[in-house]
Amino acid sequence: MKRIINLIIILIALTGLQVQAGGVDFKVSVPNQVSLGERFRLTYQINADVDDFTHPTFDGLRILSGPSRSQNSSIQIVNGKVSQNISISYSYVMVANREGEITIPAATVKVSGKTYKSATRTLLVGSANKQAATTSNGNSNSQTQQSGGLKASDVYIKAFASKSDVYLGEKIIVTYRIYTKVPVSNLSVDKLSSFAGFWSIDLLGDQQKLNQRQEVINGEQYIVADLKKAALYPQKTGDLIIEPMSLSCIVQVQSSRKKTTSNDPFFDSFFNDPFFSNSYRNIEKQLKSAKLKIHVKDLPAAGKPIDFSGAVGSFSLGSNIDHNEIMANEAVTLKYTISGKGNIDLLPDLNLDFPPDFEVYDPKVTTKTRKQSNGVSGYKTFEYTVIPRSAGDYEIPPVSFSFFDPAAKQYKELKSDAYQIKVNRSNKPNQNISYGGNTKEDIRYIGKDIRHIYMMPFQLEPVGHFFFGSNLFYLLLILPLLLSLIIVFVWRKERKKRGNISLMKNKNATKVARKRLKEANVFLKSREEASFYNELGQALWGYVSDKFSIPLAELSIDSVHDKLKDKGVNEEVIKEFVDTLNDCEFARFAPGDKASTMEKVYQQGIDIISKIEDQLK
């Protein structure tokens, strides 16, 4: 009896208030009373098409999810008259942030240009541990029950750093990990360190699902998952602080019910079984990790190479050349690749010393990194294209690259191979390159000062021939204006077309009907008879409503017959369309093979729309 009374109270509490005006019914539904941290649902419902929905400011409440929008619509045909019912809902899942009375202001909607408001509601938020305190029986477990049945060791997050004492630029792996012995859901990160003073690379990415595993800690079994893992590279020296991570979650805790006693031992042993004596409830829990302190040392001054530019890690250097013998004014490509482990993105450019009469283009730089659980590895490639302008034998000296290896605690220097290039005199005409009578110093002078005049071909124009004032000049001057006028004309025409709702519905009537026919086909295959006939009927009625701009309120067999006749559709096709509409309404009640009847009516619907379209062309 007590349970029935409680159920009635809950149903009364969940009954929403409603505002009615001009046929628009705008309701709000929310419980009258909740506990602090308890999840509850707030729902706004309206029976009309909504142009705009605006929720109020939820002071004292936190939105866990929403608004989630759902819509239900149905068309009823009574005595040939069509009516449509619409129900649109906006739902939120929320928790209260404080105790006491919380007022939920009115939400607003716009329907057909008019604004409607819901009722305001008052929510009473009680203490989270009130229920647990009342069920305490005074034993040693009462303290645990009053705290919601949850201990600090039941669920927590912890931050780890692979090292706490590192060199400038040395990699650190930071991991945030959750440990739990109880069911946890709705994880929401409230605050995460910005890793000030570090270059950071996320190693986990956007996880759709946490990778869980089991661990035994102090003899107790935990479910463990990594929430975030990042590779950090310190960019300054000193003591750097990594701020804690804080998050909110919903935890399911067990609440013990008071044991029942009676004169029947079997009754007591059965209903005092843990299956019956325990219940569960959800509470919100805030978790926070500890902050981490990282001491960053400067790189040692002893043994630092002159060309050292700050690379820290473990690397190798490779190189290759595509040709060792070419003709003058032909291109040759040199490629240098630095690969290894470290911050590949921050590797500096290489310093190359090319001969002065080589035309050198900016290098093509390619970076490829691979994220792993222990850091980042990859390579960075510098591809140089050079063009020798003079014949001769040349040498491209080795390229040096130095870095600091934190594992060995020393600097290392790498060198590439040197390359010999033989450049032969070009046999191509009109190169205008002088090879004889020049000393080595002369060639260097030409390479630095006048080689650019041979880079590109040019064309001489007749005296007095100018682009300014030519026909092409005026054409290019007028062309942008003409294009602008065309764009404005097309845009206005399209906007006018879209503003004509009837025209747009007429244009899309067949497309919408075919979409609904596909949905009806789904119900046909699953043999859902009622849904099939309802969807097929909506496809046919909706088609004529959109095609001929007939309001739903005026749709009837007679109005459809008259409109089709006015549009020149012959009487036989009109009769077939009306028969198909009647079949949608009455075929489900006819005796015989239901499946074959549905197939027949479905094919009739497809054929009749095609026939009407053919006659309207």
Domain's final residue, options 295, 324, 342: 295
> Is 474 inside a domain boundary?
no
At how many degrees (to 10) do helices 501-525 and 471-499 cross?
60
Which pLDDT tens digit goes with each residue over 98-123?
Answer: 888 889 999 998 888 888 988 998 88
- Residues 366, 326 share a domain: yes
How big is the chain by its Cα radius of gyration, in Å? Answer: 39
Are 65 and 92 in contact, with CB atoms under 8 Å apart?
A: yes
Q: CB of 547 within 8 A of CB of 555?
A: no
Tokens for 292? 């981490």
Residue where a domain terminates, one of 230, 262, 295:
295
Q: How many domains does the chain have?
A: 4
List the Cα angle 398/402/403 in 5-degree steps. 155
Q: How far apart are CA 128 and CA 123, in angstroms?
A: 15
Asked if 44 contacts 28 with a C-beta cutoff of 8 angstroms, the reply is yes
- CA-CA distance, 292 to 79, in Å (whole number)? 76
Least confident of 58-72, 98-112, 357-371: 58-72
- 505 and 567 inside one domain: yes
Q: Is the peptide bond before 388 cis (omega within 30 degrees of 0)?
A: no
Q: Are residues 110 and 23 in the same domain?
A: yes
Q: Is the pLDDT of residue 424 over 60?
A: yes
In the predicted model, what is the mean pLDDT of residues 386-391? 90
Cα-based distances in Å from 593 to 366, 529, 530, 536, 600: 68, 12, 15, 19, 11
| Domain extent for 102 | 13-126
Residue type, 521: N
528 and 593 part of one domain: yes
Pairing status of strand 121-126 against strand 33-35:
parallel
Question: Do 448 and 318 have their domain in common?
Answer: yes
C-alpha 435/C-alpha 390 separation (Å) is: 7
Can you tell me which residue has the tokens 């404005």?
Answer: 488
Residue 133 lies in a domain: no
C-alpha–C-alpha distance, residues 305 and 307, integer Å = 5
- Do 154 and 291 sit in the same domain of this protein? yes
Nearest CA among 292, 248, 287 for reference residue 160:
292
Which of 204-213, 342-351, 365-374, 570-579 shows the lowest per-residue confidence on average (mean pLDDT)?
204-213
| Position 576 in a domain | yes
Q: What is the pLDDT of residue 80?
A: 55
Q: CB-hemisphere CA count at 13 Å for 115?
A: 5
Average pLDDT over residues 458-473: 64
Tens of pLDDT along 247-295? Answer: 888 888 776 554 445 455 444 444 445 444 456 677 888 899 999 999 9
Same domain, 107 and 170: no
Residue 490 lies in a domain: no
Tell me the DSSP string of 425-442: PP--TT-----TT--HHH
CA–CA distance, 396 with 399 (Å, rounded to integer): 9
Q: Which of 13-22, 69-78, 144-153 shows the lowest mean pLDDT across its residues? A: 13-22
Do both 175 and 73 map to the same domain?
no
Same domain for 358 and 274: no
Could you tell me if residue 67 is inside a domain? yes
Q: At what angle do helices 594-616 and 529-547 cross, to 10 degrees?
A: 10
What percent of the chain is predicted at pLDDT more than 70?
76
The residues with which 411 forms a beta bridge, in sequence order, are: 404
**Residue 5 banded pLDDT, cuts 50, 70, 90:** very low
In terms of domains, do 345 and 279 share one? Answer: no
Residue 459 inside a domain? The answer is no
Do residues 118 and 192 both lie within one domain?
no
Residue 179 is assigned to a structural domain of this protein: yes
Looking at 396, 420, 454, the residue that finishes a domain is 454
